[in-house]
Structures are given as structure tokens and as C-alpha cells.
Chains A and B, each alone.
Chain A
Amino acid sequence: MTRSRCLPSRLLACVAGILVLLAALPALALGMDRAALEELFGESVTTSASGKPQRASDVPLGMDIITAEQIRRSGAHDIPAVLARYTSLDVHQYNASDYAVGVRGYATPMTPRLLVLVNGRQVYLDHYGYAAWDAIPVQLGEIRQIEVVKGPNSALFGFNAVAGVVNIITYDPSYEHRSNAVVRLGTGGYRETSGVVSAPLGDGGGLRLSAGLRGEHNWGRGYTDFERASLDAGRSPTRAQFAGEAAFRLGPAARGAIDASFGRNIGAPFADYGQFWREDKRIWSLRGRVEANTSLGLVEAQIYRNAFRATYAATPFVTDHSVTVAELSDTVKLGAAHTLRPMVEFRRATMDIGASKVVYDIAAAGAMWNWAVTDRVETTLALRYDHLWLNGSGYDDPAFPYGDRDYDRNFGTATWNFGLVWRATDDDTFRLGAARGVGLPTLYDLGWRDSYPAFGYQDTGNPYLGPTVVTDYQLEYRRRIEAIDGRFSITGFHQRNRGFSSGLSAATHFPPDVAYETYTPYALGRSDVTGFDLSLRGRALGAIDWGVEYRLAAVSSEFRPSLLDPKRASPRHLVSARLGWSSGPLELNLFGRYASLAQGYRTVNEADAVLARSKDYVSVAARIAYRLTDRMTLALEGENLLHERQEQTYALKAERRFYLSLRADF
């Protein structure tokens, strides 16, 4: 406890030291104006691939970038729905507000494999190892772009960036004046209002504020009797979110920013073990950032704390979770051809479930080296080492197999990314990538504990559970095609995974060794996935834009038996197609998606689960919008249009819904 209390003050002292150091360095001009760089190069720019500012066409790994204009015209009102309409990511929607998103397979409910960030701040929840998409405190109207990294990037972002990374980039209030408000009403009792203000203020400063309120009826078909009767699973989801950022100049070449957010979501997420359970969660965040352009390079530092508290139906358990992160990096170009980015990071994550508490500290150091070998060939190598110290308290109970001493352990592991980009001609680009990523066991897997004597079983985390290790290889060919004003790309990939937590899906300890049959997580084993992504997109006649994405993911595995099935959690085939047209004040957009069958276990009562399958399906979404004035747009949006109710996952049946939205841009 003493250690925990000391931590923030140590981190604050660290940040203060960094500020003093930055102030002492010779100053050059400031930072990165994404809008100006985008206008110059005619394409999106990103730092999510290597930490270095890069053009989208130069990144050393597979990446999709979804722009603000695409988001606006998607007609979607959730980030995963946007991803489903423009990418071949695995996107499963389990009820009106709950999603799982994966990259190239293994997308179980609450998948732990995709790291999600907002402007580089993790919103992925370490305690259960997933992204609560409905709780990300960002309104669609404030997103500048969504950056999707396909494949591991632990060498840049640390643990849990094993299948990919989604970095949601909002407008930068220091540079961009973007303000809007949206009111949306729909069938299914849908009502939403949101607003965003992003405006430069003073010399180099700016302010961004956003808020959103939303409610709707949940989907109605597919609950088990137990979920309805005991877990309040049919509850209509509601959310309230607020976020703000103040950016300010710290001198001629440095600026700082403070951002904070709060959100409360009540809903019934679909857990990895196949059950809806009403959850009331509150999430806070507070972050400070500094960036400075110095003679030693582009120095960036950030420190943030996320806090989470959740209560649940039918149980008095409360989950408290927090993560505190401090990062320091320096991106410097040496000579004409080499860019280096050394970094250090400290991280503390805790989960407190009342009687017991599990904590880990992680110290990490790494570096990225980018070498422009020739004008047309670039290599990037990133290496990182993370060391973890685990600690637990409140676990000494003879009824369970693990006590506090079992939690006193530490281990370290290295991750790496290698990328080679060859721009063979002005139109043809080849990209070769290889990476090793590591996914940590969740705090829940390490330290959960409960007991149900009436049912004769108990659960406990496993402090000896190892991480999931992923090695990934991918080769991409991309060609710009002037005839369609677009491009074609094909990416072959092969990935080997070792680990995979079983979650609390099978009993591992039995009386008389323990008081009751005991469920603990264990490693499921090894699995390979091989496949390819195809993408073709273009524009025509100045008014039409279109795209088709296809993904094949063939999974083989040697898994131990359990009631978790990552192998078949994702469809083997995915197709996402889109067509947009605009003329004058009118905009039309049509989106289609095909997914082949997938399966998983559905928990049907207190203890039993059955294997459930969802057949292949096609879904269609559409938007038709009319610009009333230069600032006001009225839109009719629809989703799941082909059927009133449709089986898209093995959870609830997706419902056809219509929405009418009015958006004002200022």
C-alpha cells in the first residue's frame, strides 16, 4: 500500500525533471501539424507504426487509416461499426452496444489481443484484457482518423499489442478548429446527442471539449432464461461521456497538454465465457503530456492514470482497476538517412476485488531504428524489453491452491518488429514485415477469486500463467492504379501463437487438494493462422468512391480442451464492400458485409455451456444525407437492413434499425 501511494509522487517528480530538462535544451520550432502535413503529402500521416512521423504509404507494417470524412459518411454511430464498414477486421456485435474487434482471427468476446488507444493513451482495460468500445470517451465527430495496425506492435506499444493496434486520433486543438453537434433518434428507442468543440486559443494553445449522451433498447432475442431472470442482461444500455483537453505552449519549441475524461456506461457485455451480464462501469482518466522539438530530437513525455470501477447484477462484487503509465521517448534524425527513437516506460496496473488485490509493475526500455537505405528502400527495426514484477495480497486461504507468496514473482521478455519497404516504382510498393508480440495474462486471469459453495465450485486466478507469444510474418504488394484513381493491395500473412488463456472455463483442481472443484486459467496451447488480405478501392467521375476488402484466415491449432474456442471464434472468410456517391447537397452510401460461420460456447445457466454456431450471413447498412445549409446535414441511416432480426453471432439476433440524424458543423 505504501508503495502504491508513493508512486504518483515519484512519477510527478519524474515529469517535473523532464520538464526542467526540456527547458534547458536548445529550442527549435515546434512539432507536428497533421493537417498541414496531410495537405502537403496528399495522404494521411501517422506515428502508430514506428513512433516516427510517417506517411501512410511509408509505414513498415500493414495499416489501414480511416479518415474523418469516411467516418462521417459511414452512417455508423459506434467505432467498431465504422471499422466493419471500411476494413476486413473481425467485428462481432453481440447486442445493441457491445462489440469485439479482432485482427486476422481469434476474435473471442472481450478479445484481449487488440490494443486500443486514444491519442496514444491506452483505453484497453488491463483488468479483463479487452476494449470496452462503448466506454471509449470519444465522440465520432472529434475523430481526425482511426489508425489500424494489422499485426503485432509490442515493440512500440508494449504488452497486448499482439494481433494489432487501433489508435484513435482526435483533432488537435492547437491546430484545428472543428466543432460540431449531432442529434440522432432512431427505432429501438434510440436517442443520442453529442457535441464537440476543438479550437486553437492564444499562441500555440487550444481547447477540445466533447460530450455525449445515449440510450436505446437492447436487442430482444437470444437471451437465456438465466440471463434474463438473474443477470439483468436485457437492460437497455445507456452511456454518458465527457472529455476535455487543454493544450498550451511551454516556450518557443515545447508545448504541453492536459486531458481528462469520465464516462459511465450501463449495459450487459457478452463475456468471453459466453454470457451476458449487466455491468455498471465508471471510467476516469487524467493525462499530462509534453512534447518539445530540441537539438536532441523530438522529445515526448506523457504520464496518465486510468481508473475503472464496475458493479454487476446479482453479486455484491465490485471491481476496482487502475493503470498508471509514464513514458519518455526521443525521436531524432541522425544524418540524412537514420532515425532513432529510444524510449523508456513505467507502468503499474492494479485490480482490487475487495478481499484480494493483484498488482504488477512493468519497466520497459527499447529503441526503434529507421534506415533509409536508398530513396526507394527503407528498413525499420524496433526492439523492446519489458520486465514485470507481480504482487498479490489477500490470497492466503487454504481452500485455494495459491497464496500471497505465489504472487511474488517476476519475469522479463523481449519483443521486436522488423519492416522493409521497397517502393519499386512510383506505383508499386512491396512491404515485408516480421514481429514478435507478447500478450500478458489479464489481471483477472492472474488474480480473480470467488467461491460458490452452494454450487460446489470456486474460481481463482493463476499467478503462474504465462503470456501469449505471437510471431508474425507478412508480405504486402500494393499498386496505385491511375485508371481507377485508386489502389490494389494483397497481403499474405502467417502467424504462430503460443499461450492463449483458457479463462475460467475448466476445472483444474479437485478435492481433497482444494475445498471445492476449482477453476483456474491455463494455457490452451499453440495455434497458427495463415491467410491474406485483399483490398481494392477507387474513385470515379468525381462523385463515386468505392472499395472492397476481403480477408481469408485459416486457423489450425493444438488446443487443450476448454470452454473457450479461439480457433473458430472468427469467420474464415470476410468481405466488406462499400459504394458512395455524392452530388451537390446529396450523399448516398451503401455498405455490405459477408462473414462465414463462426462459433463459441454459450453459457446457458449457472454452470453449463453449450457449443453454439452462427451461420454465414450478409448484412447491409446505408446512409442518405442532404445538406440543408453549409452547416447543417440531415441524414437517414439504417443498419442490418436485410432482415428484421438476423443471426450474425452466436449471441443475440441483430435487429434492423433506422436512425434520423441532424448534424451541425461550426
Chain B
Amino acid sequence: MLLSLTGALIGMPGPGLAEPTLRDLQAAVRALAFLEEPPTGLADIGIVYPDGSAEGLSQARRIAAIFGEGLRAGNLTLRPKLVTVAGAGQAGAVALLLTDAALPEVHRVAAAVARSGVVTIAAGTTAPEAGASVLSVRGGPRVEIVVNRAAAQAAGVSFAAAFRMMIQER
């Protein structure tokens, strides 16, 4: 109810968009705990939107609202930070969550954080089909996680062996 109210205040998603839900985001944060070198403590997650895109900024704000003061998984708490595609390389975040509007520019974002250990994430109903980010996550009805091996290698990250055996890799 609170989230719906928040969504109404900051603008609901336009028709046809599949923005991430709280379940999607929780799954994404939890998945980060299975990095070989997982981030811990309080850290930033960049919510990436296209430069100059009002719709992208609106999406990013809605996602940030879901994060609230931060989403926690184990000993990691991720705090949202709005980032443009151009500013992704200097965001100082441990992960970058791409809005739908920013997904077409995923390769530009990936290039900006290549070999830096920053995980690019797509989350939401259609995320697993997108697959160009390091991590694509859907929280329900069944949790689906896809890791793009090439993108992970380019980003300089790897996941724990047991985790890799329980997800899809491409």
C-alpha cells in the first residue's frame, strides 16, 4: 500500500513497461552476496537512466523509492543513487541497476565500468530475456537469475560455484 502510494506520488510507469518490483530488487541484492568477492556493509547501487531522459529519470526515481533507505541482504545494505549513463563510470557504486530506458545503452554502461568489479543488473519481469547485463533477475512468480558470462568476465566479476550451478548462464 505504501509503495503504491509512493508510486502514485512520483508517477506510475507508462503502459508496457515492466519495472522491477520489491521482490525483483530483493532477489538482485541477495544475488550479490554470491559474488566471489561480495560487497559488505553499507554501499551504493546506481540506478542508471539515459542522459536527458525525463522518462528514464522518472523510472529511476520510482525504483529508488522502492529501495527506500536501503535494501538489506545478509551483511550488505544497498542504498540507491541516481546515475546517468554518462556518469555510470564515476558513480562509485558496487552495482548498477539499469532502468528500462537505459537498457538499450547497457553496452555503453558496461564499457564504462569494465574490469572494475561493478555488476550491471537488469531486474523485472522481462529481465531474464534481456540478458545483456551481468545479472538479470526476476523475483517472481519463480525466482529466475541469469548471468551473462561474457559480461561478467568483462566486468571482472565471478560468482560462487554453488550459486552458478543453480542459475542460468549464457
Q: Do A and B come from one complex?
A: yes
Interface set of A (CB-CB < 8 Å, partner B): 28-32, 36-37, 39-42, 45, 52-55, 57-58, 293, 297-298, 331-333, 335-337, 339, 372, 375, 426-427, 480, 482
Shortest distance in angstroms between A293's beta carbon and chain B's nearest beta carbon? 5
Residue of B nearest to A482 (CB): B141
Instruction: Contact check, B36 vs A426: say whether CB atoms are below 8 A apart.
Output: no
Q: Which of B27, B35, B37 contacts A40 (CB 8 A)?
A: B27
Distance to closest chain A CB from B35 (angstroms): 8
- A332–B165 alpha-carbon span in the complex (Å): 8
Residue pairs across A and B with Cβ atoms less than 8 A apart, 14 shown, are: A28-B160, A29-B35, A36-B33, A39-B73, A40-B33, A40-B145, A42-B143, A55-B166, A297-B161, A298-B161, A333-B165, A336-B168, A336-B170, A375-B128
Interface core residue of B34, B142, B149, B162 (most chain A CB under 10 Å): B162
Q: Which of A32, A40, A54, A331 has the most CB of B within 10 A?
A: A40
Instruction: Return B49 CB to nearest CB of chain A, in Å.
Output: 27
Interface of A is mostly: mixed
Residues on B with C-beta less than 8 A from A293 are 160-162
B157 to nearest A CB, angstroms?
11
Which of B33, B38, B163, B166 has the largest count of A CB atoms less than 10 A from its CB?
B166
Q: Is B169 an interface residue (CB 8 A)?
A: yes
CA distance A293 to B158 in the complex (A): 13
Beyond A37-B166, A57-B142, A332-B161, list 16 extra A-B contacts (CB 8 Å): A28-B160, A29-B38, A36-B30, A36-B33, A40-B143, A40-B145, A53-B162, A53-B165, A54-B166, A297-B161, A333-B165, A333-B169, A336-B149, A336-B170, A427-B141, A482-B141
Q: Is the CB of B165 within 8 A of A54?
A: yes
Asked whether any CB of chain A lies closer than 8 Å to the CB of B15, the reply is: no
Q: List which B74-93 residues lie within 8 A (CB) of chain A.
A: 74
Minimum CB–CB distance from B1 to chain A (whole Å) comes to 15
B164 at the interface (CB under 8 A from A): yes
Are A298 and B143 CB-contacts (below 8 A) given A29-B37, A36-B30, A375-B168?
no
| Chain B residues in 8 Å Cβ range of A298 | 161-162
Report the separation of the CA atoms of residues A52 and B161 in the bound assembly, to the nearest whole angstrom: 10
As a 0/1 sequence over residues 46 to 82 of chain B, the CB contacts with chain A under 8 angstroms (1 = contact) are 0000000000000000000000000001100000000
Distance of B148 from chain A, by nearest CB (Å): 9
Chain A residues near B140 (CB-CB < 8 A): 42
In the complex, chain A residues whose CB is within 8 Å of the CB of B160: 28-31, 293
Q: In the assembled complex, which residues on chain A have CB atoms less than 8 Å from the CB atom of B73?
A: 36, 39
In-complex Cβ contact of A331 among B30, B161, B168 (8 A): B161
What CA separation (Å) do A297 and B161 show in the bound complex?
Answer: 7
Residues of chain B within 8 A of A31, CB atoms compared: 160, 162
Which chain B residue lies CB-closest to A423? Answer: B142
Taking a contact as CB atoms under 8 Å apart, the answer to whether B162 and A32 are in contact is yes
Does B130 have its Cβ within 8 Å of any Cβ on chain A?
no
B residues near A (Cβ < 8 Å) are 27, 30-31, 33-38, 73-74, 128, 140-143, 145, 149, 158, 160-166, 168-170
Contacts A41-B143, A298-B161 hold; do A337 and B169 have CB atoms under 8 A apart? yes
Contacts of B168 in A (CB 8 A): 336, 372, 375
| Chain B: CB-nearest residue to A429 | B142
Q: How many A-B residue pairs have CB under 8 A?
A: 73
In the complex, which residue of chain B has the Cβ closest to the Cβ of A332? B161
The smallest beta-carbon distance between A294 and chain B, in angstroms, is 9
List the 5 closest pairs (A to B, CB-CB), nearest first: A336-B169, A32-B162, A29-B36, A40-B30, A53-B162
Determine the residue in chain A with the shortest Cβ distance to B27: A40
Bound-state CA distance A333–B74 (Å) is: 26
**Smallest beta-carbon distance A384→chain B, Å:** 20
Which of B30, B34, B161 touches A333 (beta carbons < 8 Å)? B161
- Complex formed: what's the CA distance from A298 to B163 in Å? 11
Known: A31-B160, A40-B30. A339 touches B165 (CB 8 A): yes
Tell whether, in the assembled complex, residue A52 and residue B165 are in contact, meaning their CB atoms are under 8 Å apart.
Answer: yes
CB atoms of B30 and A39 under 8 A apart: yes
- Taking a contact as CB atoms under 8 Å apart, the answer to whether A426 and B161 are in contact is no
Q: Judging by beta carbons under 8 Å apart, are B141 and A426 in contact?
A: yes
Report A-chain residues with C-beta under 8 Å of the C-beta of B163: 37
Tell me the minimal C-beta distance from A536 to chain B in angstroms: 18
- Let me know if B170 and A45 touch, CB within 8 A: no
Question: In the complex, which residues of chain B have a beta carbon less than 8 angstroms from the beta carbon of A40?
Answer: 27, 30-31, 33-34, 143, 145
Alpha-carbon distance A30/B161, docked complex (angstroms): 8
Q: Tell whether, in the assembled complex, residue A333 and residue B142 are in contact, meaning their CB atoms are under 8 Å apart.
A: no
Distance from A370 Cβ to chain B, minimum over Cβ atoms (Å): 8
A residues near B27, Cβ cutoff 8 Å: 40
B38, closest chain A residue (CB): A29
Residues of B within 8 A of A427 (CB): 141
Nearest B residue to A341, CB-CB: B165
Q: How far is the CA of A662 from the CA of B133 in the complex (A)?
A: 51
Give Cα A58–Cα B51 distance, bound, in whole angstroms: 41
B4 to chain A, nearest CB (A): 19
A538, chain B: closest CB distance, angstroms: 15
Known: A57-B142, A480-B141. Is A36-B161 also a contact (CB below 8 A)? no
By the criterion CB–CB under 8 Å, are B169 and A53 in contact? no
Residue from A57, A375, A480 whose CB has the most chain B CB atoms within 10 Å: A375
